[in-house]
Amino acid sequence: MLFSLGLFVSLTLSKILRLGIIKLTLVSALDFSYLCGQMGRQITTLSLGTDPLSRLLPRYAVPAIIAMTSTSLFNIIDSVFIGHGVGALAISGMALTMPIMNVASAFGSLVGVGAAAVTSIRLGQGNKRSAEHILGNVILLNVVIGLTIGILGLVFLDDILYFFGASDRTVPYARDFMHVILAGNVITHLYLSLNEMLRASGYPQKSMHIMLISVAVNCVLNPLFIFKFGWGIRGSACATVIAQTVALSISLHHFMRPDSFLRFKRGIFRFDGRIVGSIISVGLAPFLVNICTSIVVIFVNKALKTYGGDLNIGAYGIINRVVMLFLMVVFGLNQGMQPIVGYNYGAKQYDRVLKALKITIICAVCVTTAGFLVSRLLPRQVAMLFVGGDDADAAEMIDAVAYGMRYVMIMFWAVGFQVVTGNFFQYIGKAKRAILISLTRQMLFLVPLLIVLPPKLGVLGVWISMPIADSMSIILAATLLFFQIRRLRRSPDEEKSI
């Protein structure tokens, strides 16, 4: 039943996305054959400014969608095996680690996403040498940041978990999981950032293959460590780190090859203030998004613990993973759009920039609409995918997931537009606007709602805060995008690349 449900959801989502793309004549049979024939090869950066978008966008987006969805599946696989192999409370313990994971992801995005965006713009400007120096700085930044977060996290782990809403029942699970994850934090950072650089330098299919290999290794090791070896939640964490290590080794090998478009060379492994500044300025938007997400999760967990108990925290963790599964498809579309938009914006071909944006928004809204339909039609079935057993804890968590999902995802059908818009501003170097869209949703809209509504409405107040904040953020994103598009069409010469 579980595998049938998962297959049904995956096929439904794939069908909706495919129909949206077919409607836009993005992928023809010839395009698909060409795409398959190009797997593992570099797409020349020149094609970003010349090839028809009907072929170019799928060529980048399809591998990125698969790669990003595999990242979400990584987390879902962990949760499913933990829920069925360890128990409902273990899911709650894992949900408590989300703020820590988001902080680590924040710094990973600061470097990886920022570097990929700047690399695409530099290549659009014809500056390959600068792009290679960006690669060297990516390695150095990830090692320094990854070690710092890993060490600090291990030293203060228990204090952090209790502050995030842990109880004596859930903290042992969270502690066991994070001990392993934090120990491998440098590996995680390098793996994700180098994958971004692979895509930005013209190897989207290879990036996809590496992430799929990581998911496959995780799928094999998770049940082995949890059920066969009896390592519990710690076994799931070990499977995650080992899978990422395998993927990282493949990425490192790629950048060591002499025939790679961007590769490791002598002289690039030195901190360059201008490069670091560019990476941080562009990567600041996703960095702040993840930091704010951590803050929001702390508020959510504390409110759910106060008005609903430990199992409601686990329910939120499940809902968040379902939301992220669909958002990862949108993020994949964004990843496919990023090198195209960045290159053409750098080359001042703004008509191609706007056309790529339009197609991406339409596809993204199709995806988030599919997520909205799942939340209305299959909430209990989704909950049962994660939670096993017939005990009272499992039944309570299934009820909490079904109840919360119906409210949390009310506005989800339009979230795809907001996500693409925020990333678009980031990709063209308008970091302040990207930050504004992200921060207002999390801090200006959502946090005050989480403070005001739960004391009056209880758990319901927590759930309805999220769609209200989504609605406000969508309106803001639409307003900013309207003025940006008008400026590109009326005064293109005033635009300046970073």
Per-chain mean pLDDT for the chain:
82
Q: Model confidence at 38, in pLDDT bands (50, 70, 90)?
A: very low
Q: Which of 59-63, 85-89, 230-234, 388-392 shows the lowest per-residue confidence on average (mean pLDDT)?
A: 388-392
In the chain, how many domains are there? 1
With b meaning 16 or more CB within 10 Å and e meaning fewer, what string describes 140-166? bbbeebbeebbeebeeebeebbeebbb
pLDDT at 37 over 50: no
CA atoms of 103 and 264, how far apart (whole Å): 28
CA atoms of 50 and 27, how far apart (whole Å): 17
CA atoms of 333 and 338, how far apart (whole Å): 9
Are the beta carbons of 382 and 322 closer than 8 angstroms?
A: yes
User: In whole angstroms, how far apart are CA 269 and each of 109, 112, 132, 133, 276?
Assistant: 20, 16, 10, 7, 12
Residue 155 or 495, more confident: 155
Max mean pLDDT range (37-41, 115-119, 121-125): 115-119
C-alpha atoms less than 13 angstroms from C-alpha of 91 in its C-beta half-sphere:
35
Convert the pLDDT of each residue in 434-462 to its tens digit: 878 877 888 889 999 999 999 999 999 99
Residue 132 or 148, more confident: 148
- pLDDT of the residue at 164: 83
pLDDT at 269 over 60: yes
Convert the pLDDT of each residue in 178-205 to its tens digit: 999 999 999 999 998 898 888 788 787 7
Convert the pLDDT of each residue in 313-328 to its tens digit: 999 999 998 998 999 8
pLDDT at 22 over 70: no
- pLDDT of the residue at 11: 39
Average pLDDT over residues 229-234: 89
Give the distance from CA 115 to its chain's centroid.
16
Q: Which of 23-37, 224-238, 287-301 shows the lowest per-residue confidence on average (mean pLDDT)?
A: 23-37
Convert the pLDDT of each residue in 151-184 to its tens digit: 999 999 999 998 888 888 889 999 999 999 999 9
CA atoms of 448 and 472, how far apart (whole Å): 13
- pLDDT of the residue at 496: 56
Residue 322 or 344, more confident: 322
Q: Model confidence at 46, in pLDDT bands (50, 70, 90)?
A: low
Q: Model confidence at 23, in pLDDT bands (50, 70, 90)?
A: very low
Closest by Cα among 90, 70, 81, 72 to 3: 81
Are the beta carbons of 60 and 283 closer than 8 angstroms?
A: no
User: In whole angstroms, how far apart are CA 388 and each of 254, 319, 406, 492?
Assistant: 41, 16, 21, 57
CA atoms of 371 and 239, how far apart (whole Å): 28
Q: Which of 49-58, 99-108, 170-179 shows the lowest per-residue confidence on average (mean pLDDT)?
A: 49-58
Q: Model confidence at 40, in pLDDT bands (50, 70, 90)?
A: very low
- pLDDT of the residue at 411: 95
Convert the pLDDT of each residue in 68-95 to its tens digit: 787 677 778 778 888 888 888 888 888 8
pLDDT at 10 over 60: no
- pLDDT of the residue at 159: 92
pLDDT at 126 over 80: no
User: Which residue's entry shows tokens 């809403």?
Assistant: 165
C-alpha atoms less than 13 angstroms from C-alpha of 334 in its C-beta half-sphere:
28
Show the domain range for 355.
Answer: 2-494
- pLDDT of the residue at 495: 59
- pLDDT of the residue at 492: 62
Instruction: Indicate the Cα dihedral angle 192, 331, 18, 371, nearest 10°.
Output: 120
Q: What is the pTM of this model?
A: 0.73
Quick one: angle between helices 98-124 and 310-346, nearest 10? Answer: 10
